Amino acid sequence: MLYLELKNVSKNYDGKNKIIKDISLGIKKGEFIVIVGPSGCGKSTLLRMVAGLEDISDGDIVIDKAVVNNISPADRDIAMVFQNYALYPHMNVLKNLSYGLKNRKISKDEIEKRVVSISKLLQIEELLHRKPSELSGGQKQRVAMGRAIIRKPKLFLFDEPLSNLDAKLRHQMRIEIRKLHDKLGITSVYVTHDQVEAMTLADRIIILNGGKIEQIGTPKEIYENPNSIFVSKFMGTPPMNIIKAKVKNSTIEIGDISIDLKNSYNEEYIHVGIRAEDISLSDFNNSIKLRVDIDMIEHLGSESFIYSTIENNPIIVKSSEFIETKEDKLDIYINTKKLYFFSDKEGKIL
Amino acid sequence: MKTKQYASHIILVLMSLIFLVPIWVIFASSTHTPETILNGGLQFFLGDNFLDTYRSVLFEKSGYTKHITVLQMIGNSLILALGFAVGKVIISSMAAYAIVYFRFRLASFLFWVIFLTLLLPLEVRIVPSFEVLAKLNLLNSYTGLIVPLIASATGTFFFRQFYKSIPDELLEAAKLDGANSWQFFIDILLPLSKTMMAALFIVMFIVGWNQYLWPIMMTTEPEYSTILLGIKEIYQSNFEGSYLPEFNRAFAMIILALIVPVLVVILFQRWFIKGLVDSEK
Amino acid sequence: MKKVQFNNRFIPYLFILPQISIIAIFFLWPSAMAVYYSFILEDAFGISSEFVWFENYKSVLLDSDYIASLGFTLIFSVLVTFFSLAIGLFLAYKTDKSIKQKGLYRGLFMWPYAIAPAVVGLMASFFFSQSNGDLYNFLNYLGWEFEPKSDPLSAQIMLIFVASWKQISVNFIFFLSGLQAIPKSIIEASLIDCKSSIKRFWTIIFPLLSPTTFFLLITNIVYAFFDTFGLIDTTTRGAPMGETKTLAYKIYQDGFLGADIGGSSAQSVLLMIFILVLTIFQFKYLEKKVHY
């Protein structure tokens, strides 16, 4: 049973300049969906179209079986958390929380009941009589969430809600948002450019690129089976290593080694992907040896990153050892079972 | 370093005296008898005629027609300044709201109509403005005194600039909270504009108080005289008239005409500067 | 405009209506009349009138009185703008530098803004009066035959002095807030890079103030053209023989006192064109944003 459905949705300004190109997707009730993509990919626009803050140029948006294309934002029964929180600066926390309920003519008793339970849930009871200017970033974030939750909406929309917080707080709030979702079970759509947020929060991830869906899947699927170079490089830190290699009679050559391809392939070049953690510094089963040039080594304490190149292709190797070497060459061993092959022209998985 | 700083301070103090001394001399002279001034010129030290002069100026009917006291003139100036400032704040905050927050067909046309008012100050269209007022039967009325002055665009631009600085998300949040355009204006925008309104009010109060040509043109009956009209009469009786100048009364009038706006500027300094600087962007 | 707006056919008109109707009645209507009158010639008694095309403009532009007034207005506004800008900037710069007394000096230089030009004019009339005016006596004591009532140059210099005196405070306020808006880090960087404070001022601070300066340039010109009306009306009134008449004051004298409606309307329209040019110039220039 789909709860939120986008059917061939497009967005353009004045007939040209297409920002969203024919997107279709379905979201189940209670799911936590994260839309992720680089800046300018249209992810915020898509979210705001769901909210009704942007018009739809083409297609339908369906919430809970009803087409909402022409329904005003207030009547779509959705709530949204904004990047800059958008708290009303002249109202205290209590009034910020209850403003939307008042406009919906909900009784005073009910409003009070909800304020009490929400402020308890979010631990903002002490802040109720403060103005937004007297709150810290994390507190503002909580109030913004409270203002959304208190309405008991059908759909919960987040527009990069954590990007104004520092790294530590962002991590903490991330966990709280996921906990809150598990507790309340409200269907949520969350927009971010941060792939870590996407991996940790989502039931399913939608990767958007240039106004089109690049891939949809659970974090595990996306990480293990990226279907394009774009996805493979976008998800995961460090990004997947991609080596451009020449194809010769269904074998490819990298440096002085060659690898057999399972299927024949009739383009001149192919892109070979390997994740940093699938490269080792010592020999193991199914591995092949590559000799690379070391550019730099970065020590993070628990692990080291070796930045190297082979035939002008950068390769990052992750190691749990503290690497110290005076050499400028290094032998690395890559797991042939964990190789990804992408087409040269379109960058799609083969 | 030190001597340089002292030099700076000396220059600044001397310059401030250039502004202060004339006002002081006028005030000090106003506390002397007319005979002292006639014989000895302007006075630097206080005299002992302060109460007499100011009491008679404030409470005795004066002017050509002896129909109005200066106190009543100050009252008229207050009505003009307050009415002008209040009207300006209300009308321009509303017009700017329409321009910034609505998409409607005539928006840019009406914006240019408002902009047009900056092109033609009252001074250069004074004769036809007078005729329009006469046709509408608004000569010698507070409406005629105040309303035509509100037409200009300065306040509208001021609020437009401020509204544009308010983040878009606030409107979006309000929309999701179910606020309509009227509720957004009353519940969100007006409370947010409080400081800006106060700032514009202060500046417009002073502009209104200091209106000179318009009140002169359109009031012929003395009961609508403002204090600035009194200033014009003083000029005429002292420099063009044939009867004996009453210097002390003239000086007292000058002090009374400037004391209100000067106090307003000094007391509400922060708002005043904000209103002045922001309205001209 | 805003990315997000309300879509409503009716309500925006409700909000904009009060201002638009006031503008229509008290601005557009009289302005249109001024344009109309500028093409009309009335006889001396106002009984008959005749459409004369550009006759009024022609006689205005050929009138030596008008040319003299134009000349005076230009010189007057250039000098008043220059003096009040320069002194306002100087005072603002010095005030901004004195940390402790900043508030005091700001107060001391700000308040003259509140005095009406007509009041300033009346005060000046007393100080420069030939019967016991202190400044009159002082200037003559110095050996200058200062006679504003009969000598045009004296009267003009007096007006320029008084009009500048009145305008310094506005420039001071704007320059001071412009100076305060310059980021501290830029000032600190310039302190490291440049030893001479005069050089720092002209190479760093003054260029950064250019938007303010440009804006004030326009404001001061408009002030000298129009807002000095009250000041002239309580000092020279154009005396001795019309040598101290600005264009705005001439329009008033010709139209209201002289009842030459056609001629004064033509002058109004000419002035309107002048402001239009000034405004277009301002917008063109602001588009370039001047250093920001």
Range scoring the smallest mean pLDDT among A74-88, B190-204, C116-130, C180-194: C180-194
Predicted confidence at residue B63, as pLDDT, reads 57
The 10s digit of each residue's pLDDT in C262-279 is 888 888 888 888 888 888
The 10s digit of each residue's pLDDT in C28-67 is 898 888 888 888 777 656 666 777 787 788 887 878 888 8
C204 Cα distance to chain centroid: 28
Q: What is the DSSP letter of C201?
A: I
Q: Would the CB atoms of B124 and C215 count as touching at under 8 Å?
A: no
Is some CB atom of chain A closer than 8 A to the CB atom of B165? no
Chains sharing 3 or more CB pairs under 8 A with chain A: B
Alpha carbon distance C201, C196 (integer Å):
9
> What phi, psi does A258 have (nearest 5°)?
-130, 150
Count of other CB atoms within 10 angstroms of residue B124 = 29
Q: Would the CB atoms of C272 and B124 count as touching at under 8 Å?
A: yes
Alpha carbon distance B81, B58 (integer Å):
19
Alpha carbon distance C2, C285 (integer Å):
24
Q: Would the CB atoms of B22 and C127 count as touching at under 8 Å?
A: yes
**Chain B residues touching residue A86 (CB < 8 angstroms):** 167, 169-170, 172-173
Average pLDDT over residues A328-342: 86
C218 against C86, higher pLDDT: C86
The pLDDT of residue C122 is above 70: yes
Q: Which of C40, C126, C252 to mutate to test the interface with B (most CBs of B within 10 A)?
A: C126
C61-289 has CATH 1.10.3720.10 classification: yes
Cβ(A259)–Cβ(A339) below 8 Å: yes
A-B contacts at Cβ under 8 angstroms? 57
Average pLDDT over residues C170-185: 88
Predicted confidence at residue A327, as pLDDT, reads 80
**Chain B residues touching residue C20 (CB < 8 angstroms):** 95, 110, 113-114
**Chain B residues touching residue A161 (CB < 8 angstroms):** none
Is some CB atom of chain B closer than 8 A to the CB atom of A306? no
Is some CB atom of chain A closer than 8 A to the CB atom of B182? no
Cβ(B276)–Cβ(B207) below 8 Å: no
Of C15, C105, C107, the CB nearest to B97: C15
Predicted confidence at residue B65, as pLDDT, reads 55
Q: Would the CB atoms of B177 and A99 count as touching at under 8 Å?
A: yes
Q: What range defines the domain where residue B224 resides?
A: 2-277
Alpha carbon distance B266, B249 (integer Å):
25
Q: Would the CB atoms of B181 and C11 count as touching at under 8 Å?
A: yes
Domain coordinates in residue numbering, chain C: 61-289
Is some CB atom of chain B closer than 8 A to the CB atom of A73? yes
Is some CB atom of chain A closer than 8 A to the CB atom of B179? yes
Report how many domains make up chain B: 1
Locate the chain B residue with the closest alpha carbon to C128: B42
Of C91, C264, C272, the CB nearest to B120: C272
The 8 Å CB, 24+ separation contacts for C287-290 are C289/C211, C290/C210, C290/C211, C290/C214
**Chain C residues touching residue B136 (CB < 8 angstroms):** 25
Instruction: Using 50 as the pLDDT threshold, list the residues of chain B that sit under it.
Output: 281
Helices (H), B31-69: 34-40, 50-59
Predicted confidence at residue C292, as pLDDT, reads 40
Of A82, A87, A103, the CB nearest to B178: A103
Q: Tokens standing for C220?
A: 């001061």
Alpha carbon distance A116, A140 (integer Å):
17
Cβ(C159)–Cβ(C245) below 8 Å: no
The 8 Å CB, 24+ separation contacts for B23-32 are B23/B255, B23/B258, B23/C123, B25/C127, B25/C134, B26/B251, B26/B254, B26/B255, B26/C123, B26/C126, B27/B251, B27/B255, B29/B247, B29/B248, B29/B251, B30/B54, B30/B248, B30/B251, B30/B252, B30/B254, B30/B255, B31/B248, B32/B248
The 10s digit of each residue's pLDDT in C227-250 is 888 899 888 887 777 778 888 888
Cβ(A92)–Cβ(A128) below 8 Å: yes
**Chain B residues touching residue A85 (CB < 8 angstroms):** 169
A56 Cα distance to chain centroid: 23
Which of C217, C164, C117, C175 is CA-nearest to residue B18? C164
- With vertex at residue B52, the alpha carbon angle to CA B50 and CA B56, rounded to the nearest 5 degrees, is 120
Of B175, B183, B194, the CB nearest to A73: B175
Is some CB atom of chain B closer than 8 A to the CB atom of A20? no
Q: Would the CB atoms of B91 and C19 count as touching at under 8 Å?
A: yes
Locate the chain C residue with the closest alpha carbon to B279: C174
Q: Would the CB atoms of C276 and B119 count as touching at under 8 Å?
A: yes
Predicted confidence at residue B280, as pLDDT, reads 57
Of B11, B125, B182, the CB nearest to C30: B125
A182 Cα distance to chain centroid: 19
3-state SS string for chain A: CEEEEEEEEEEEECCEEEEEEEEEEEEECCCEEEEECCCCCCHHHHHHHHHCCCCCCEEEEEECCEECCCCCHHHHCEEEECCCCCCCCCCCHHHHHHHHHHHCCCCHHHHHHHHHHHHHHCCCHHHCCCCHHHCCHHHHHHHHHHHHHCCCCCEEEEECCCCCCCHHHHHHHHHHHHHHHHHHCCEEEEEECCHHHHHHHCCEEEEEECCEEEEEECHHHHHHCCCEHHHHHHCCCCCCEEEEEEEECCEEEECCEEEECCCCCCCCEEEEEECHHHEECCCCCCEEEEEEEEEEEEECCCCEEEEEEECCEEEEEEECCCCCCCCCEEEEEEEHHHCEEEECCCCEEC
CATH number at residue B146: 1.10.3720.10
Q: Would the CB atoms of B187 and A84 count as touching at under 8 Å?
A: no
Task: Name the band, by pLDDT with cuts 50, 70 and 90, for residue C291.
Answer: very low
Predicted confidence at residue C79, as pLDDT, reads 94
Is some CB atom of chain A closer than 8 A to the CB atom of B169? yes
Predicted confidence at residue A61, as pLDDT, reads 92
Q: Would the CB atoms of C108 and B19 count as touching at under 8 Å?
A: yes
Of A51, A84, A89, the CB nearest to B176: A51
Task: Name the band, by pLDDT with cuts 50, 70 and 90, for residue C222.
Answer: confident
**Chain C residues touching residue B107 (CB < 8 angstroms):** 1, 12
Locate the chain B residue with the closest alpha carbon to A75: B178
Of C30, C165, C264, the CB nearest to B132: C30
Locate the chain A residue with the closest alpha carbon to B170: A86
Predicted confidence at residue B241, as pLDDT, reads 63
> Is the reported ipTM for this assembly greater than 0.90?
no
Inter-CA distances, A173 with A91, A158, A167, Å: 24, 13, 10
Task: Name the band, by pLDDT with cuts 50, 70 and 90, for residue A207.
Answer: very high
Cβ(B47)–Cβ(B170) below 8 Å: no
Query: What's the farthest any 2 CA atoms get from each other in chain A?
Result: 77
Average pLDDT over residues A63-73: 88
Q: Would the CB atoms of B176 and A99 count as touching at under 8 Å?
A: no
Q: Would the CB atoms of B114 and C19 count as touching at under 8 Å?
A: yes
